[in-house]
Structure 1
Amino acid sequence: MQLIGFIINPLSGDGRGANIWKEIETHLQMNQIPYVSKITQKAGEAKELAISIIQEHSVKKLILIGGDGTIHEAASGLAHLQKEGIHCSLAVIPAGTGNDFAKAYSIPKQPLQALNTAIAEKKKVQIDLLRGLNELIAVNSIGAGFDGMVAKLTNESSYKKYLNRLGLGKLSYFLTILRVFATYQPCTVWLEVDGTVHELPHTWLAAVANIPFYGGAIQICPSASPHDGMADIVIIQSRGRFRLLPVLFTVYQGKHTNHPAVSFYKGTSISLRTQKPLLIQADGEYAGATPLQITLEPASITVIC
């Protein structure tokens, strides 16, 4: 068996990553499965660890133990190496709060089952990436406005850690949504998709999606596919907040799509200018403020699922 690379975020899921790694490492040793591992020590480190573990050990399979933030970082490293002609498949053992990536690819929640899926390698898919400016990469979504603020406040909140300990981490996003919903002020944005500009007043949210899910269970773009060579864009507009209450409670099932406040676009080159700077999230991680420029890169990395 070829050497397998592991990157572990021990703090993901408020310590769940560390517990899962103990279980996985015991299994690897008992079954004499060759591996090399690196453990993240700080935020943003998984990209460099992915690059170093692949370059130093020539691994062809990299398994991540962490959440969407860890995947976000490591995928950036894989995309960087891909451009240099160095290929490595990505697999995931979910250990985060939302685990949107794992849900999109039907990766088992149970750690040993996810490990066996990665080792068996029965299914491999080429997935698209969303590339922004300043080496920004996303595998799930990039959003500006309401969701950018929700992502930032959720990650900074004390209740996220507490709810993770109770196994209710996804509830933290919903609590922040209610907080932000009460005070958020929409603005005009100018969305350009493949050369066509749309002026969109009273915009609450502009999200570019590669998969249907974000925020743990929200089906923001139910038709989004990471294999179709197109990015899906969702815009939510409303002059008043109470008009959006039906959206707030149907988006989890993906049943918001016919609401008059919601519109969708598809394209490969997307830019967003805004009346005022809006917070940006990339795969649930704070990623600065608008303006925003995104290019879809088709079939960029290989995922084992």
Structure 2
Amino acid sequence: MKKYFFIINANNAKAIKTFKSLKKEMDKEEIPYRTFYTEYSGHAIEIAKKITYMNKDLIKAVIAVGGDGTIHEVFNGIKEHPEIPIGFISGGSGNDIVRVLAKEIKGLKSQISYLKRNRTIKGDSGTIQLMGRSKKSQVFLSAIGIGLDGEVAKYTNESTYKKHLHKLKLGTIAYVITLFKVLRFYQPDSMILKIDHQEHVFHNVWLVAIGNMPYYGGGMKICPGARFNDGILDVCVVHNLSLLKLLALFISVFWGGHVNVKGVAQFRGTEISVATKRPVAIHADGEFKGTTPVCIAVNPASVPLKI
């Protein structure tokens, strides 16, 4: 009999509490499952790889219980098995992937209904390739951020206040706190983008966002037109803005109003590369990955998503 394999972020109090309640209900409903808890950063990748290697024919779906970082790791752990669906139970601070793919799954009743139904759809993913022989390619589901937001992701994930705010269900505020800290030292830079082999040069660039989905950073609608199943990536470049205008722009990002501001350029493409004069931070699904230069490509209809 096939069963669900749950990977739970053990460093996330919300994820543990959510799964504890779900577990009791699954036992009542006699839903077959197995559970695995992460112990450190990157552990979900290792667990997912072992699960798919040892139990490939027994897996109904691999379910990530946590935030975008947990989902990102689980997805990278099962990426060699595109026949295995990935599912989501919300339990993080950002929840940008869940916001798109499983926003209606709230509370035990909807979670059980989600597990009982056998529905999957094909979604796109993206590949991120950092330069250098030792750099392995990774996949992402939601978005890439290069520049200011890459720095914010890096420092937020290293902070102690993120964990405390997360317990209070105020995880998004952690990114806002870090933003103002990073702005004290961050300097915009020139960037060269190649989008489907067409070159674009921008100066005083604060950030470049590449979205397979509209959101990142805990609900910021950075690429409003991005769709997870259209076979294309959306690109947003924020450049040539004063600090004051950038802060005003930041507020409007939560509803997508920033796209109408001068200094925000938008593109769409399937292959994107970004080069800079100095190394600039990169995040994928909110997880710091390294620095530029980087190449990014879309993988159309590559992921079976449990819905």
Give the TM-score taking structure 2 as reference length: 0.92
Equivalent residues in 2 for 1:1-305, closer than 5 Å: 2-12=2-12, 15-57=13-55, 58=57, 59-82=59-82, 87-108=83-104, 110-121=106-117, 123-133=119-129, 134-238=136-240, 240-305=242-307
- Does structure 1 conserve the Cα–Cα contact (< 8 Å) formed by 2:105 and 2:114? no
- Does structure 2 conserve the Cα–Cα contact (< 8 Å) formed by 1:127 and 1:298? yes
Q: 1:197 to 1:117 in 2, by over 3 A?
A: farther
- Does structure 2 conserve the Cα–Cα contact (< 8 Å) formed by 1:8 and 1:38? yes
1:246 CA drift (Å): 2.3
User: Which deviates the most, 92-101 or 162-171?
Assistant: 162-171
Q: 1:9 to 1:276 in 2, by over 3 A?
A: same
| Distance of 2:110 and 2:296 partners within structure 1 | 31
Aligned amino acid, residue 190 of structure 1: I
| Distance of 1:276 and 1:135 partners within structure 2 | 21
Q: Structure 1: 5+ residue runs without aligned partners? A: none
1:122 CA drift (Å): 5.9
1:111 CA drift (Å): 4.5
User: Which deviates the most, 117-126 or 218-227?
Assistant: 117-126
Q: 1:117 to 1:137 in 2, by over 3 A?
A: farther
User: Which deviates the most, 191-200 or 57-66?
Assistant: 57-66
Give per-residue Cα distances to partners, 1:145-201, cap 9 Å, x unaligned. Answer: 000001011111222122112111111111222222343210100000000010111
Give per-residue Cα distances to partners, 1:250-294, cap 9 Å, x unaligned. Answer: 011111111011111111111000011001101101101110111
How many aligned positions are there?
299
| Distance of 2:20 and 2:241 partners within structure 1 | 51
RMSD (Å) for aligned C-alpha atoms: 1.6
Q: 1:25 to 1:200 in 2, by over 3 A?
A: same
- Does structure 2 conserve the Cα–Cα contact (< 8 Å) formed by 1:92 and 1:102? yes
User: Which deviates the most, 87-96 or 22-31?
Assistant: 22-31
Question: What SS does the corresponding residue of 1:119 show, helix, strand or coil?
Answer: helix
| Distance of 1:22 and 1:171 partners within structure 2 | 26
| Distance of 2:175 and 2:291 partners within structure 1 | 20
| Distance of 2:71 and 2:170 partners within structure 1 | 21
| Distance of 1:47 and 1:32 partners within structure 2 | 28
Give per-residue Cα distances to partners, 1:57-83, cap 9 Å, x unaligned. Answer: 22021111111011101111222222x
| Distance of 1:122 and 1:232 partners within structure 2 | 30
| Distance of 1:221 and 1:274 partners within structure 2 | 22
1:55 CA drift (Å): 3.2
User: Which deviates the most, 124-133 or 144-153?
Assistant: 124-133
- Does structure 2 conserve the Cα–Cα contact (< 8 Å) formed by 1:5 and 1:54? no
| Distance of 1:267 and 1:113 partners within structure 2 | 40
Aligned amino acid, residue 55 of structure 1: Y
| Distance of 2:110 and 2:180 partners within structure 1 | 33
1:232 CA drift (Å): 0.6
Aligned amino acid, residue 103 of structure 1: R
User: Which deviates the most, 71-80 or 287-296?
Assistant: 71-80
Aligned amino acid, residue 191 of structure 1: L
| Distance of 1:60 and 1:32 partners within structure 2 | 15
Q: Structure 2: 5+ residue runs without aligned partners? A: 130-135
Question: What SS does the corresponding residue of 1:171 show, helix, strand or coil?
Answer: helix
Aligned amino acid, residue 240 of structure 1: S
| Distance of 1:199 and 1:300 partners within structure 2 | 31
